[in-house]
Chain A
Amino acid sequence: MIVVEDVHKRYQTEHGAGKWVLQGVSLTIQPKVSVGLVGRNGAGKSTLLRLIGGVDIPTRGKIDRYCRVSWPMGFGGGLQGSLTGRQNAKFVSRIHGHEVDIPDRLAYVADFSELGDAFDQPVKTYSSGMRSRLQFALSLAFDFDVYISDEVTAAGDASFRAKAAAAFKNMADRAGLIMVSHSEGTLRQFCSAGIWLHNGRALWFDSIDEALKAYKESIGAC
């Protein structure tokens, strides 16, 4: 379970404090729920994911994670371009305290990502689809209770998306997912519930379809 309590966030800019991105977001994400975040560009979706993932600290309010939460998988973050996929995977295993069973984790990542020989090539030679496959396989290699995905699933090709969705369906009874995606299809494929971020606040919908509907109506209304 993740409890987000009255979270405010603004970033420091060169001209002092910036605009409020989040203004009083309060949420409780129950275990084993897969939820999609919708909202306009700049509504604070990635910011909220970073806060939930513990990468950044809220300006006000607090976030309690009563479970193991993955890092936010997203573009660019978390992979070192000059190192190979295998070396990156080793690094992630080590910081998650899996020094002893690195070979198992590596085998899983190599198998799930289907990178083949590219697994031993520097990550900077990867295409964006290959990078997101590696990131996705990396996070699945560890037993998190909640996985956080920032657009990463959208970058893979159709067959990989289907495989990733199937992997999540398989562990739906033990793990949840929080994801941002601009693709409705991806959201419907992965998520049951939805959060709509609007004007710095968050609204919870038990069904992703309703969240998408509210979001679309708001665009139409503007």
Chain B
Amino acid sequence: MTATPKAQAREPQDTRSSVSIALSAWNALFLREAVSRVSAGRAAWLWLLVEPAAHLTILMVLFSTIRHRIMPGFDFALFLAIGVLGYNLFRHSALRSMAAIAANRALFTYRQVKPVDVVLARAFLEGVIQLFVGLIMLAGMSLVGFAELPNDPLTVMLVYTLFWLFGTGVGLMLSVGSTLIPEVGRVANLCFIPLYFLSGVLFSPAMLPPEPRYWLLLNPIAQGLELARAAFSPGYNGVTGLDLGYLTAFAVGSIFFGLALHVRFSRRLLMQ
């Protein structure tokens, strides 16, 4: 053991605490991600809005004019919007965070920046972006008369926050997985397509026979979407008897497990 050299005693303000280093790294990473996300290419910010709006318009055309689907006690456009926005929030948080380590490898040159920092910064930015996208979409829809204000806004906000946290947790896990085993990333990207249909974005699980409904409701996102719809409109005829605990457990569990993976593989993540 070497004795600590006392010549190195510095004024306290010279050394920063771990917390303040992490905070300044998060601040810097968040701003940096935001700049590259919003200014990458021509009118990148516009595409953030156009993509979900186009998605929703296509679904609307498909379902309301071709299939004449009617949802008793609920505006179908709003029904779809809740599903698409919720699912997108989850998917973007998970997939953008998953890609964070590979995209920011150059920054690990600075020892203040660790893999978990870039993942968390991206997940946070994605939450902020999707919040604005959602607010603008709903405001736009209510201007043209498609949507009204939610009946129980707190529950709606809570469900969406849980979607974002769950997406962050999945992103934390996938970021480790896809860095250590590249195939994990490819498979994860594929899995989000069937998950879209299994999450009840386009239909309510209540329309299904009991057995498939039981299986579908094992998916926490399907449960969350039903809860959000019920909170939006008291007249909604969806699945009853759900509570937020299931989705909360998934959100908290995935974040815990994701952070644990980052701790366990911190050395391997830096080395790749």
Contacts and interface: CB of A to CB of B under 8 A. Distances in A.
To the question of whether A and B form a pair in one complex, the answer is yes
B4 A83 contact: no
Given A56-B270, A56-B271, A66-B4, A71 B24 contact: no
Interface stretch (B14-22, B81-89, B153-161, B253-261): B14-22
B36 A80 contact: yes
Interface in B23-58: 24-25, 27-29, 31-32, 35-36, 40
Interface in B1-23: 2, 4-5, 7-8, 14, 16, 20-21
Interface stretch (A90-98, A112-120, A176-184, A198-206): A90-98
B249 interface: no
Given A97-B16, A97-B24, A82 B267 contact: no
A90 B32 CA distance: 9
Contacts of B16: 97
B110 interface: yes
Given A78-B107, A83-B36, A95 B113 contact: yes
B213 interface: no
A99 B24 contact: yes
Contacts of A5: 2
- Determine chain B's interface SS by DSSP, over half rule: helix
B149 interface: no
A94 B36 contact: no
A53 B28 contact: no
A83 to B, nearest CB: 6
B267 A76 contact: no
Given A66-B4, A68-B14, A94 B106 contact: no
Interface in A71-125: 71-72, 74, 76-80, 82-83, 87, 90-92, 94-97, 99
B271 A97 contact: no
Nearest to A78: B109
B67 interface: no
A83 B32 contact: yes
Contact of B106 (A67, A79, A99): A79
Given A57-B270, A78-B110, A80-B106, A94 B28 contact: yes
Nearest to B35: A87
Nearest to B1: A5
A129 interface: no
B111 interface: yes
Say which size band chain A's interface belongs to.
Answer: 20 to 34
A50 to B, nearest CB: 9
B5 A66 contact: yes
A184 B31 CA distance: 41
A32 to B, nearest CB: 11
A7 B5 CA distance: 20
A95 B36 contact: no
A25 interface: no
A24 interface: no
B110 A83 contact: no
A149 to B, nearest CB: 12
Interface in A117-160: none
A54 interface: yes
Contacts of B113: 95
A94 B40 contact: no
A11 interface: yes
Given A72-B109, A95-B24, A95-B110, A80 B32 contact: yes
B64 interface: no
A1 B106 contact: no
10 contacts: A53-B109, A55-B108, A64-B2, A67-B8, A74-B109, A76-B106, A80-B32, A82-B40, A90-B31, A95-B28
